[in-house]
A and B are shown apart, each in its own frame.
Chain A
Amino acid sequence: MRKLLRFIIQNHFIILFLLIESFSLFLLFSRNPYQKFTFYRFSHSIINRIASRISNLEDYFSLYHENRALVEENTKLYNQLASSYPGTTSDTIYRLYNGTSGTYLYIPARIINNTVNNQYNYITINKGSRDQIEPDMAVICNNGIVGYTKSVSKNFTVVLPALNLDFIVSGKIKKSGYYGPVSWNGVNANLLTLVDIPHHVTLNQGDTVITSGYGGIFPEGYLIGTIEDFRLKGGNYYEINIKLSSDFRRLDNVQVIRHHAKQELDSLQNLLLND
């Protein structure tokens, strides 16, 4: 208390000035119509701006739940699409052996561990065998492919992502239909490499590359990326750099695609191979 008193006495000039000046300004803004109006207009614009900032911030807090809801919704829509149009792709075999419940089942999952800096990166997701996940199922996100499931435990699954030197998928240039293996060269986390495209095919920067559906893991038609650049290798075949459409550094929600008739297909194909 004594300290406070001493402080007030020591600074009485400034304190008195602030008191009198604020009283004057109060008079100014409350008793003059023009100044009053201008002041209210100004303070309202500031208050509105702050209020809208706060509401933006509040939106962020609910973002997690919004995201969950959107993912659920997405899954529902995917499943509806798959079951309404069984075997929308050209693979007639699948359709024959598939009942009415749809060729594919989409299982939503969330990434709980992810690396992009290594040569052999892995992603862990929070769904496992309890949710009907098995090895060698395709994993996609809303922007494109992610990878395929590698090893499955009861509640978790390790995904082998496109950013792994072991990853390989059959990619197709959407415009011309030519296809070839797509893999990662381990250098740039944004680029995959598509090889074995013959030299007479016309390529343009920005052409879309999608999964071809061959190889059995990825269904046909999922976005891999766009052509970044290309060059002839050995004179006959193009080596094409594909800019990944999925940003692996920001992956969060993914969908695992369960292919109902995959075992059947595999056993049939293996039968032929073994002969």
Chain B
Amino acid sequence: MIKTLQKYLLLVIILIAAQLLVFDNIEFSGYINPYVYILFIIILPFEIPKALLLILAFALGLIIDLFLGTPGVHSSATVLMAFARPYILGVFAPRDGYQTGTNPRIAYYGLEWFVKYAATLVIIHHLTLFYLEVLSLDHFFNTFLRILASATFTLLILVLSQFLVFRK
């Protein structure tokens, strides 16, 4: 239990550091702004209490917000994503449900399942985030393009990280 806690604590620190030090510095014509810190919310265990999920998401989003100087933007998007997570998990549940002792990861449920599940959450998060940032529908398609590009890139990083960093 303590070990699991330590593992997730380490994970969140690494993710925040990676987000702030690496991924926020990608300047690819302004179209690609990946936000990989949400991996933390995505791969939290199935059994986590829903309320805790929301609180963790809010805390995570707020930390990112504080570092980036955009209070509320990331926390709103992350909390909304965390709120959607149980429902998305329900939609993509395997026929015989999720096994106890497993996590929502490629290692347990395969690449296809993970891509579907993570892509939905990433899209929810990025849609909210980008439109809250722009807060107008004036450049709707431009923003939408940015969302698609960034979400694709984020998803790519998330999938790769599953193979490179996280073994079971």
Given the contacts A26-B72, A32-B72, A35-B135, A20 and B50 also touching, CB distance less than 8 Å = no
**Sampled A-B contacts (13; CB under 8 Å):** A16-B51, A20-B75, A24-B72, A24-B75, A24-B76, A27-B72, A27-B75, A28-B71, A28-B72, A28-B76, A32-B70, A35-B73, A38-B135
| A34 proximal to B (CB < 8 A) | yes
Interface of A is mostly: helix
A31-B71 Cα distance, complex, nearest whole Å: 6
Q: B79 — which chain A residues lie within 8 A by C-beta? A: 17, 20-21, 24
Q: Which of B72, B83, B86 has the most CB of A within 10 A?
A: B72
Query: In whole angstroms, how far apart are the Cα atoms of A32 and B75 in the complex?
Result: 13
Q: Is the CB of A28 within 8 A of B51?
A: no
Q: How far is the CB of B36 from chain A (nearest CB, A)?
A: 20
Taking the closest CB of chain A, its distance from the CB of B58, in whole angstroms, is 5
- The digit string for B28-68, where 1 denotes a CB below 8 A from any CB of A, is 00000000000000000000001100110010011001000
Number of chain A interface residues as a range: 20 to 34
Interface presence of B136 (CB below 8 A): yes
The B-contacting residues of A in range 164-214, CB under 8 angstroms, are: none
Within 8 Å CB of B148, what residues of A? none
* Shortest CB distance A140–B (Å): 55
Please determine whether B76 and A13 come into contact, CB atoms closer than 8 angstroms. no
Beta-carbon contact of A28 and B132 below 8 Å: yes
Which of B55, B58, B135 meets A24, CB within 8 Å?
B58
Answer yes or no: B80 CB below 8 A from chain A CBs.
yes
Q: How many Å lie between the Cα of A39 and that of B71 in the bound state?
A: 15
Cβ of A25 within 8 Å of any chain B Cβ, yes or no, is yes
B135 touching A27, Cβ below 8 Å? no
Residues of B within 8 A of A31 (CB): 71-72
Query: What 12 additional pairs, Cβ within 8 angstroms, besides A13-B83, A20-B75, A27-B72?
Result: A13-B54, A13-B86, A17-B83, A21-B83, A24-B61, A24-B76, A27-B75, A28-B71, A29-B72, A30-B72, A32-B71, A38-B135
In the bound assembly, the distance between CA atoms of A130 and B106 in angstroms comes to 96
Instruction: Give the complex CA separation of A25 and B79 in angstroms.
Output: 11
A12 contacts partner chain B, Cβ-Cβ < 8 Å: yes
Q: How far is the CA of A39 from the CA of B72 in the complex (A)?
A: 14
Interface residues of A in 1-41 (CB under 8 A from B): 12-13, 16-17, 20-21, 23-32, 34-35, 38-39
Interface centre among B50, B55, B79 (most CB of A within 10 A): B79
Task: Decide if A35 touches B51 in the complex (CB within 8 Å).
Answer: no
Shortest CB-to-CB span from A37 to chain B, Å, is: 9
Q: How far is the CA of A16 from the CA of B79 in the complex (A)?
A: 10
Whether B55 pairs with A28 at a CB distance below 8 angstroms is no
* Residues 26-70 of chain A, each 1 if its beta carbon lies under 8 Å from chain B, else 0: 111111101100110000000000000000000000000000000
Whether the Cβ atoms of B76 and A25 lie closer than 8 Å is yes
The smallest beta-carbon distance between B127 and chain A, in angstroms, is 15
Q: Which residue of A lies closest to B78 (CB)?
A: A24
B136 touching A20, Cβ below 8 Å: no
List which A104-123 residues lie within 8 A (CB) of chain B. Answer: none
Asked if residues A12 and B70 are in contact (CB atoms below 8 Å), the reply is no
Decide if A21 touches B80 in the complex (CB within 8 Å): yes
- Give per-residue flags for B4-45: 1 if the beta carbon is below 8 A from chain A beta carbons, else 0: 000000000000000000000000000000000000000000
Residues of B within 8 A of A21 (CB): 76, 79-80, 83
Q: How far is the CB of B47 from chain A (nearest CB, A)?
A: 15
Chain B residue numbers with a CB within 8 Å of A29 are 72
Query: Which residues of chain A come closer than 8 Å to B83, judged between CB atoms?
Result: 13, 17, 21
